[in-house]
Amino acid sequence: MRHAILFSFLLINAGCGALKDALEDNLGTCGTACARVQDCGATPPEPDYGIGMSESSGVGGLDCAAGCASEERAMTGYADCQLDCLEAVECGDMQACWDAGSDVFAEHCGGGGPKIGPEGDGTYDNGTTTGSPMVDEAVENPAVQAAVEASGFVLNFGDSPPAMDSGVFALNWEIVAEQNSRDVGVGSDGYPTDICLWESDEGPDVDWRYCQIGGLTVGLSLIGNNDLFTLVIVDELYQGYITGRVENDGDKTKLVDIDVLVILLWGPDMWERQVWDAILEADIGECGAMVSEACPV
């Protein structure tokens, strides 16, 4: 309630100069940083964990105030090192305070870890170190390196991934480890969600597509070898790594041992590890009826 009252007060005083003064006077620790966000015209992130539900007020200082007033501000892009960054950098560099892969972010918040790739320094037949040019670039992000090291997550590399069947899957999931993210135990609670997963021929960086209820769709790159695979999602705010194994189950393939790492890129040391159980329910032609007509199958 206190945060709602404060937000309303700031909105009432939303003239440019008045808003900057109100931010400085009423937000304590966050005041100087949010006043600079407003002054510089920066655009704070809209953390939504990839589910498309975050909204912006359209005013940078107000969005900063709302996110920074949270008791869990490290999860919304306002860790102590990020506040230092917002207060210190030039306006032109401010956006990088929310980009865990940037040099500006590293200067204030650190990050990084061991190089990600298979043992040895060789490359696959396609000239990549992971199996995909896009994934080669993605795993250079210091936030990804730090999360993989901290979580103990294992990627399956290679340029000859196994064949998998497209279709509608019943997905159960649960968070089993996290840092500065949602709580362990959060998940589908035994009530599976239908998703669509299908092979795509859109280009070198999109081998498969994922779509969920509501029509939210992302492209995935596929790497792996023999029966082991990794599907990779790369977005400005997060990266996702879905690893597992393919088994032949009669006429269809079955995805087993599915382990997922989601790295959130708007702050330091933000990741969650999930386990998935994905059961093939129907052919991909049923995606519109079972999941969403907006899925671009």
List the domain range (segments joined by +) for residue 285: 133-290
Q: What is the pLDDT of residues 97-125, one digit of tens each?
A: 999 999 999 999 998 899 999 987 778 99
Does residue 19 sit in the same domain as residue 99?
yes
Verify that 68 and 138 share a domain, yes or no. no
What single-letter DSSP state applies at residue 286? Answer: G
- Looking at the fold, whether 101 and 137 belong to one and the same domain comes out as no
Buried b vs exposed e over 169-184: b needs ≥16 C-beta within 10 Å? Answer: bbbbbbbebbbbbeee
Instruction: For residue 222, tell me if it sits in a domain.
Output: yes
Count up the domains in the chain and report the number: 2
User: What's the burial of 114, exposed, middle or buried (CB within 10 Å: 0-12/13-18/19+)?
Assistant: exposed
Report the C-alpha gap between 60 and 123 in whole angstroms. Answer: 44
Question: Average pLDDT for residues 72-101, to the nearest whole number?
Answer: 95
CA-to-CA separations, 113 to 136, 140, 153, 154, in angstroms, rounded: 15, 10, 13, 14
* Average pLDDT value for residue range 158-181: 96
Whole-angstrom distance, CA of residue 156 vs CA of residue 113: 18
Structure tokens at 143: 């936030």
pLDDT exceeds cutoff 90 at 1: no
Q: Count of CB atoms within 10 A of residue 277's CB?
A: 15
